[in-house]
Amino acid sequence: MLLKNRIALVTGASSGIGRGIALEFAREGAKVVVADIQAEPSRGKYHQQDVFTLTVQEIETLGSAGLFVQIDIADDSAVDSLIQQTIDRFGQLDILVNNAGIYIPGQSQDLSIKDWDKMTAVNLRSIFVTTKKSIPHLRKSKCGRIIHIASVHAVGGGAGPAYTAAKAGVVNLARDTALEVASDCITVNAICPGYIETAIQDYLTPAEIETSRQKTPLPRFGLPRDIGRAAVFLASDDAEWITGTTLVVDGGLTASAI
């Protein structure tokens, strides 16, 4: 087991990518704090229509221990409570995965300033806050890891101004924090997923989904476990000398120059 007895905190872990990461961590022996605004997993109209069990239940089925903490990740005081509950239950923190994110469709002329603020608050600011408040505990770990979930849209447009700007910020935040905490032997990296089959894709039309399928060279879309396995690698001892970098997991989507 690559993560045996390590304590991981995964935000946005009730559904989608976060759930996939939490379950792969548990499969590798980690105890996982599932932080999300609701315990019930989201089910999409295109993907994951049959997901019903709670993430913590699945973690326990895998033989590990889980803790669900309900949280609005954009609430600073709630983040304080989240970290404290993690320490109270498990006594330490070894791995932080900043996965929680939202998407509100809209280009510059459609997206309201309120929605810009909401998206950047969740998708970028909350990552800084959660990282900031976790570092004192990660410094006490012998295997401190921070993993940010960004997006292929961090390096290209097409998903609206707030989402793309926030995800680009997440990638560079990983680099900056990696330099800050390197002397503490904490690694900080980002993962940029391509199209992953989760409920967040509900805003798309079938035609748009098919276009994404045609643009993805490998003959299937990504699954949450694909991001989960990448996160396991970055959290494991195998990646102890990898920091400040970005791992693109997109089925080859960004490999093409045109």
Name the residues annotated as catalytic.
Answer: 163
Question: Residues 6 or more apart from 78 whose CB is under 8 A from it?
Answer: 71, 72
Residue pair 55/61 in contact (Cβ under 8 Å)? The answer is no
Give the count of beta carbons closer than 10 Å to the beta carbon of residue 95.
28
Residue with tokens 């609206």: 160
CA 236 to chain centre: 16
Question: Residues 6 or more apart from 237 whose CB is under 8 A from it?
Answer: 2, 143
CA angle 10, 11, 12 (to 5 degrees): 120
- Going by C-alpha positions, the residue among 171, 181, 113 that lies closest to residue 147 is 171
What do you get for the CA distance between the two ends of the chain, in Å? 41
Side-chain-facing half-sphere of 258: CA atoms under 13 Å: 0
b or e along 11-30 (b: 16 or more beta carbons within 10 Å of the residue's beta carbon)? Answer: bbbbbbbbbbbbbbbbbbeb
C-alpha distances in Å from residue 161, one per residue of 72, 108, 170, 192, 239? 23, 6, 14, 17, 33
